[in-house]
Structure 1
Amino acid sequence: MADSADPSDTSKAGRAGERLAGAVKKAAGSVVGNDALRAEGELQSEKADATKEAQRAEAQAEQKREEAEAEARAEELRVERERLAAEDTRQEREERAEADRQTEAQRAEAETARKQESVSQATRAREQETRRDEVEAVRERGEAETRVRDEEARAEQARGAARTLEKVEEEQR
């Protein structure tokens, strides 16, 4: 499966496909005794897991960036309040600064609450997606293992039939 340019573009289906392909290669490698194919399957499954983990880390980094930006904005507002306060009398400065602090605190609290809720929703969605991916991967692995067992049984039947034919041919000679 081709790597996309941006890891965030990797879809759930793509990761599930990578995991399934890895499981199939691993199973096939184990069945035929091909360690390289089995290792390739393990690597492919690990790659899908690493992609998912990278996306989680990217989301956490984005949250940290947003928090830093909010802090920078709060600092800019604080500096502006101090400049304005220097222009007014002491009493006016104190009244204005207090009103600004309360307004900014309320705005910052509201913005923080909104961002936290947004991050919580995104986290819950990612966790649900992860659980669905895991269930799907387990189901797909079970199906793949069933197909492998079926193929092994058919191969054993074919070998038995071949042995029977060889015995018949030997008896006819």
Structure 2
Amino acid sequence: MSDGAEPTDTSTTQRAGQRLAGAVKKAAGAVTGNDTLRAEGELQGERADAEKDAQRAEAEARQKREEAEAEARAEELRVERERLAAEDARSEREDRAEAERRAREQRIEAETAQREQAVSQTARAREQAARRDEAAAVQERGEAESRVRDEEQRAEEARRTARTLEQVEEEDR
């Protein structure tokens, strides 16, 4: 058949009819001595056989074409699966890299916060120490000023006592 379809019962019947007609013509040509009729019969039988062979070859070619198409589809599916797997792997790597980057940023932020807190605590401790030192210095100054006043008062008393003693001595002389 020339349309590429499977051989049908009709085409098989037609070929059998052509083969039979060819065999009858061949036999008739042999019996009658008509070489043209005999050759026509042989040719008709060969044509029927050639059509059968052509249809068989066409069916085999169609089957191979379908198998090749199926293999090509399977290969396309395999390639698509590999592409999707590679895309998934790339996406997973990117997600993992992003997660690692976020974790690193969080770790850096936490370390920075700890350092800032330590610096702040150190600054507060230094401020407190400075205030304590200042308060101690103020207290020491107050105590020193008090001691100076006491010493000045004693010195003044000693001067008065010395003047009094000098006056007494002058009077005794």
Q: Which has the higher contact order (CA 8 A, sep 6+)?
A: 1
Give the TM-score of the pair, scaled to structure 2: 0.46
In the superposition, the TM-score normalised over structure 1's length comes to 0.46
